[in-house]
Amino acid sequence: MSSKLPVVLSVTAILVISIAVSAIPANALIQRDYSFLNDNRVTVSTGNTKVCGDHLCAPGEWDKLQAQLSAAQMGNQTGRNATSTTVQPITNPTSGTSSLCTMVKSALASANADPTITKNVLSQLGC
């Protein structure tokens, strides 16, 4: 009986190993899911519904939000953080503008600018 014990243990070990190998899936390599890196503002639970802040967007609200964001990024937003810079045109030429006209005319001449461009620039300066 003692001579049959190692044979029975070997057969039992082989059977256990073969069952374990057949239970493990053949392809254990599963492609990783990188969807958590997607930063689109859409909800997963309700499909492709847009999210505006802390609520679901109402019809037309998403487009309005995008327009406001674009305007704010370009500096066209009116409000507390808006800055506007306007250039006042020179309407009355004074004695200070004659030296400006001379400097601009000489700079354009040294840059070999086209005469029509020079004429347009000087006329817009009021020279």
Counting as low any pLDDT under 50, the low residues of the chain are 82, 93
Q: Is residue 12 part of a domain?
A: no
- Helix ranges (H only) for 1-127 are 4-23, 61-74, 95-110, 115-125
Q: What is the pLDDT of residue 10?
A: 92
Q: What is the pLDDT of residue 108?
A: 83
Choose among 97, 99, 117: nearest CA to 108: 117
Q: What is the pLDDT of residue 61?
A: 87
Q: Is residue 86 part of a domain?
A: no
Number of domains, the chain: 2
CA 3 – CA 8 distance, rounded (Å)? 9
Q: Is residue 39 part of a domain?
A: yes
The token duo for 84 is 């506007």
Q: Is residue 2 part of a domain?
A: no
Choose among 77, 81, 125: nearest CA to 103: 125
Q: What is the pLDDT of residue 46?
A: 57
The residue written with tokens 């037309």 in the block is 60
Q: Is residue 21 part of a domain?
A: no
Q: What is the pLDDT of residue 74?
A: 85
Q: Is residue 87 part of a domain?
A: no
Q: Is residue 121 part of a domain?
A: yes
Choose among 44, 37, 41: nearest CA to 52: 41
Choose among 22, 18, 19, 15: nearest CA to 7: 15
State which residues form the domain around 114.
95-125
Q: Is residue 103 part of a domain?
A: yes
Q: What is the pLDDT of residue 44?
A: 52
The answer to whether the predicted template modeling score (pTM) of the entire model surpasses 0.75 is no
